[in-house]
Amino acid sequence: MTTGGFENALDYLTGEILSGRLAAGDRLPNERELSSQLGASRSAVREAIKVLQAQGVLSSATGRAGGTTVGTGQGVAFGRMLKLHVALEAVSFAEITETRVALERAAALAAVGRPMGEVRRLAEEMVGVTRPAAFNDLDTAFHVAIAAAGENRLIRDMTIAIREAVAERILSAEERLAQWEELRARLVHEHLHIVDALEAGDGERAAQLSEEHVRNALAALS
């Protein structure tokens, strides 16, 4: 594979998306068709597609309904990249925490007046969950549901990214914590109060409770 062929394929695909000629959900031509169209090797086209898949821009599926489509997996892709930046110490855990606080506050304010059925369901489901791994999955779903309720996709995807980036660290700390049950009960209580504030239409209180929730949980796990 030549570098030029790979770069041409990557430039073509990104250009098609940026121009609007390829939109979310659109299916790409197969590798052979793209290779012929671009005058690039199939391996160059394949590698360009893999790069965009890693970035959450494209997704692939097998089977009759398979193929490569313009995807919407940005949150997980952002999280993968953010996790690497944390590992390389390009971004500190403290910076991630402050960013998460800002996102949680913004998400709470944006969610005011939106249906809270799913958020309430997740908060109540956590009441009976004691294992850290299962609780952590529900906790992530709870915060993402609030972010999604506000219908701001960037807030939603950045919330997913930050949760993805810190998930292993948080779970490891929870599993080692001697006072896990005490913390779990407090988190459940805080989640329910956040939902109460959102359902009452009090965005400022929900935002403040969300900030306190994040800071108190991380302090307990540090």
- The token pair that represents 107 in the structure block: 């998400």
- The token pair that represents 104 in the structure block: 């949680």
pLDDT digits (tens, 9 = 90+) for 172-222: 999 999 999 999 999 999 999 999 999 999 999 999 999 999 999 999 998
pTM for this model (two decimals): 0.72
Name the percent of the chain lying above pLDDT 90.
48
User: What CATH homologous superfamily does 75-221 map to?
Assistant: GntR ligand-binding domain-like (1.20.120.530)
Mean pLDDT of the chain: 88
Residue 98 reports pLDDT greater than 90 = yes
Q: Which fold, 3-70? A: Arc Repressor Mutant, subunit A (1.10.10)
pLDDT of 124 reads 97
Q: What is the mean pLDDT of residues 109-119?
A: 96
Instruction: Specify the residue for token string 């402050």.
Output: 98
Give the number of residues written for the chain: 222
DSSP letter at 60?
Answer: E
Domain layout of the chain by residue ranges: 3-70, 75-221
**Burial environment of residue 12 by CB neighbours within 10 A (0 to 12, 13 to 18, 19 or more):** middle
Q: What is the mean pLDDT of residues 142-159?
A: 91
pLDDT of 3 reads 54
Residue 1 reports pLDDT greater than 50 = no
